[in-house]
Amino acid sequence: MTKKRASAFPILPILIRILYEGACSQALVSLMLQRELPSEPFSLVAEEDSGDLRKESGQDTLKRITELVNDTLANEQSHSFSTLTTDDVLKAIDNGKSEGGSVGRHWVLDPIDGTKGFVRGDQYAIALALLHEGKVVLGVLACPNLPLATIGSNQQHSSSNEIGCLFFAKVGDGTYMQALDGSTP
Protein backbone atom coordinates (compact mmCIF):
# COMPACT_ATOMS: atom_id res chain seq x y z
CA MET A 1 0.00 0.00 0.00
CA THR A 2 1.44 3.39 -0.92
CA LYS A 3 1.86 6.18 1.64
CA LYS A 4 -0.84 8.23 -0.06
CA ARG A 5 -3.27 5.32 -0.04
CA ALA A 6 -2.41 4.36 3.56
CA SER A 7 -3.18 7.89 4.75
CA ALA A 8 -6.62 7.59 3.17
CA PHE A 9 -7.31 4.76 5.63
CA PRO A 10 -6.21 6.12 9.04
CA ILE A 11 -8.22 3.46 10.84
CA LEU A 12 -6.33 0.60 9.14
CA PRO A 13 -3.59 0.29 11.82
CA ILE A 14 -6.29 0.16 14.50
CA LEU A 15 -8.18 -2.58 12.66
CA ILE A 16 -4.98 -4.58 12.21
CA ARG A 17 -4.21 -4.23 15.93
CA ILE A 18 -7.71 -5.43 16.87
CA LEU A 19 -7.41 -8.42 14.52
CA TYR A 20 -3.93 -9.18 15.82
CA GLU A 21 -4.83 -9.05 19.52
CA GLY A 22 -8.22 -10.73 19.09
CA ALA A 23 -6.77 -13.61 17.10
CA CYS A 24 -3.92 -14.08 19.61
CA SER A 25 -6.33 -14.08 22.53
CA GLN A 26 -8.69 -16.52 20.84
CA ALA A 27 -5.89 -18.90 19.83
CA LEU A 28 -4.46 -18.93 23.36
CA VAL A 29 -7.83 -19.53 25.05
CA SER A 30 -8.65 -22.29 22.57
CA LEU A 31 -5.29 -24.00 23.07
CA MET A 32 -5.44 -23.77 26.87
CA LEU A 33 -9.02 -25.06 27.12
CA GLN A 34 -8.21 -28.04 24.92
CA ARG A 35 -5.06 -28.72 26.90
CA GLU A 36 -6.83 -28.55 30.26
CA LEU A 37 -9.97 -30.44 29.18
CA PRO A 38 -8.71 -33.06 26.71
CA SER A 39 -11.33 -35.70 27.48
CA GLU A 40 -14.35 -33.42 27.08
CA PRO A 41 -16.15 -32.61 23.83
CA PHE A 42 -14.91 -29.18 22.75
CA SER A 43 -17.21 -26.44 21.49
CA LEU A 44 -16.05 -22.82 21.34
CA VAL A 45 -18.22 -19.97 20.09
CA ALA A 46 -15.98 -16.99 19.36
CA GLU A 47 -15.66 -13.93 17.13
CA GLU A 48 -12.48 -14.40 15.13
CA ASP A 49 -11.79 -16.62 12.15
CA SER A 50 -8.66 -17.20 10.14
CA GLY A 51 -10.01 -16.18 6.73
CA ASP A 52 -7.99 -12.97 6.35
CA LEU A 53 -4.89 -14.58 7.86
CA ARG A 54 -4.95 -17.34 5.25
CA LYS A 55 -4.72 -14.83 2.39
CA GLU A 56 -1.36 -13.82 0.96
CA SER A 57 -1.84 -10.32 2.37
CA GLY A 58 -2.30 -11.77 5.87
CA GLN A 59 0.88 -13.84 6.03
CA ASP A 60 2.99 -11.24 7.86
CA THR A 61 0.26 -10.73 10.44
CA LEU A 62 -0.14 -14.50 10.82
CA LYS A 63 3.60 -14.85 11.39
CA ARG A 64 3.50 -12.16 14.13
CA ILE A 65 0.46 -13.78 15.75
CA THR A 66 2.17 -17.18 15.73
CA GLU A 67 5.30 -15.68 17.30
CA LEU A 68 3.27 -13.98 20.03
CA VAL A 69 1.29 -17.15 20.77
CA ASN A 70 4.53 -19.17 21.00
CA ASP A 71 6.21 -16.53 23.19
CA THR A 72 3.21 -16.43 25.51
CA LEU A 73 3.08 -20.21 25.82
CA ALA A 74 6.84 -20.39 26.41
CA ASN A 75 6.42 -17.98 29.34
CA GLU A 76 3.59 -20.08 30.82
CA GLN A 77 5.59 -22.07 33.37
CA SER A 78 2.85 -24.51 34.38
CA HIS A 79 2.53 -26.02 30.90
CA SER A 80 4.92 -27.28 28.29
CA PHE A 81 3.91 -26.71 24.71
CA SER A 82 5.98 -27.57 21.69
CA THR A 83 6.50 -24.73 19.24
CA LEU A 84 3.35 -24.19 17.21
CA THR A 85 3.28 -23.75 13.46
CA THR A 86 1.15 -21.19 11.66
CA ASP A 87 -1.22 -24.05 10.78
CA ASP A 88 -1.57 -24.92 14.49
CA VAL A 89 -2.47 -21.30 15.27
CA LEU A 90 -4.94 -21.09 12.38
CA LYS A 91 -6.62 -24.26 13.62
CA ALA A 92 -6.79 -22.90 17.19
CA ILE A 93 -8.42 -19.69 15.94
CA ASP A 94 -10.90 -21.62 13.81
CA ASN A 95 -11.87 -23.82 16.76
CA GLY A 96 -14.09 -20.86 17.67
CA LYS A 97 -16.47 -21.57 14.78
CA SER A 98 -18.92 -23.65 16.80
CA GLU A 99 -22.52 -22.50 16.59
CA GLY A 100 -23.23 -23.49 20.20
CA GLY A 101 -26.80 -24.25 21.09
CA SER A 102 -28.95 -25.19 24.05
CA VAL A 103 -27.72 -28.79 24.23
CA GLY A 104 -24.37 -29.80 25.70
CA ARG A 105 -21.47 -27.69 26.91
CA HIS A 106 -20.19 -24.71 24.98
CA TRP A 107 -17.49 -22.18 25.75
CA VAL A 108 -18.31 -18.64 24.59
CA LEU A 109 -15.44 -16.18 24.09
CA ASP A 110 -15.21 -12.49 23.34
CA PRO A 111 -11.45 -12.04 22.81
CA ILE A 112 -11.67 -8.23 23.10
CA ASP A 113 -14.78 -7.02 24.93
CA GLY A 114 -14.68 -3.23 24.89
CA THR A 115 -13.07 -2.49 21.56
CA LYS A 116 -13.11 1.29 22.08
CA GLY A 117 -11.34 0.93 25.43
CA PHE A 118 -8.81 -1.43 23.87
CA VAL A 119 -8.06 0.99 21.02
CA ARG A 120 -7.58 3.86 23.50
CA GLY A 121 -5.32 1.73 25.70
CA ASP A 122 -7.99 1.94 28.39
CA GLN A 123 -10.31 -0.68 29.88
CA TYR A 124 -11.32 -3.84 28.04
CA ALA A 125 -11.80 -7.48 28.97
CA ILE A 126 -11.29 -10.94 27.63
CA ALA A 127 -14.64 -12.53 28.42
CA LEU A 128 -15.21 -16.28 28.65
CA ALA A 129 -18.27 -18.23 29.75
CA LEU A 130 -19.21 -21.88 29.94
CA LEU A 131 -22.77 -22.77 29.03
CA HIS A 132 -24.26 -26.11 30.05
CA GLU A 133 -27.60 -27.04 28.51
CA GLY A 134 -28.10 -23.39 27.54
CA LYS A 135 -27.37 -21.92 30.99
CA VAL A 136 -24.26 -20.03 32.08
CA VAL A 137 -22.45 -22.05 34.76
CA LEU A 138 -19.04 -20.35 34.75
CA GLY A 139 -17.87 -16.86 33.87
CA VAL A 140 -14.36 -15.45 33.60
CA LEU A 141 -13.28 -11.86 32.90
CA ALA A 142 -9.63 -10.99 32.41
CA CYS A 143 -9.17 -7.23 32.74
CA PRO A 144 -5.54 -6.51 31.79
CA ASN A 145 -5.64 -2.73 32.37
CA LEU A 146 -7.73 -2.58 35.55
CA PRO A 147 -5.71 -1.16 38.48
CA LEU A 148 -5.85 -3.50 41.48
CA ALA A 149 -5.96 -0.57 43.90
CA THR A 150 -9.43 0.36 42.62
CA ILE A 151 -10.95 -2.96 43.63
CA GLY A 152 -12.32 -3.90 47.03
CA SER A 153 -11.65 -2.39 50.42
CA ASN A 154 -8.57 -4.44 51.25
CA GLN A 155 -6.14 -2.25 49.32
CA GLN A 156 -3.19 -2.70 51.67
CA HIS A 157 -2.35 -5.94 49.82
CA SER A 158 -2.00 -4.22 46.47
CA SER A 159 0.39 -1.50 45.45
CA SER A 160 -1.14 1.41 43.59
CA ASN A 161 0.75 0.63 40.37
CA GLU A 162 -0.29 -3.01 39.95
CA ILE A 163 -2.71 -3.62 37.10
CA GLY A 164 -4.53 -6.63 35.74
CA CYS A 165 -7.34 -8.61 37.36
CA LEU A 166 -9.05 -11.91 36.78
CA PHE A 167 -12.64 -12.28 37.94
CA PHE A 168 -14.35 -15.66 37.93
CA ALA A 169 -17.66 -17.02 39.13
CA LYS A 170 -19.15 -20.49 39.20
CA VAL A 171 -22.82 -21.17 39.83
CA GLY A 172 -23.20 -22.31 43.43
CA ASP A 173 -19.57 -21.57 44.30
CA GLY A 174 -19.33 -17.79 44.53
CA THR A 175 -17.35 -15.08 42.82
CA TYR A 176 -13.60 -14.53 43.11
CA MET A 177 -10.90 -12.12 42.00
CA GLN A 178 -7.16 -12.42 41.70
CA ALA A 179 -4.33 -10.53 40.08
CA LEU A 180 -3.55 -11.65 36.53
CA ASP A 181 -0.19 -12.91 37.76
CA GLY A 182 -2.07 -15.39 39.99
CA SER A 183 -1.40 -13.65 43.30
CA THR A 184 -4.18 -12.48 45.61
CA PRO A 185 -4.38 -8.68 45.79
Q: Which residues contact 99 (CB under 8 A, 6 or more apart)?
A: 45
Q: Which residues of 40-60 are buried (b: 16+ CB within 10 A; e: fewer)?
A: eeebbbbebebeebeeeebee
126 annotated as belonging to a binding site for a ligand = no
Q: Which helix (H) or strand (E) holds 137?
A: strand 135-147
47 annotated as belonging to a binding site for a ligand = yes
113 annotated as belonging to a binding site for a ligand = yes
C-alpha dihedral (69, 31, 147, 141), degrees to nearest 10:
150
Three-class SS state of 23: helix
94 annotated as belonging to a binding site for a ligand = no
- List residues forming the annotated binding site for Mg(2+): 47, 110, 112-113
- List residues forming the annotated binding site: 47, 110, 112-113
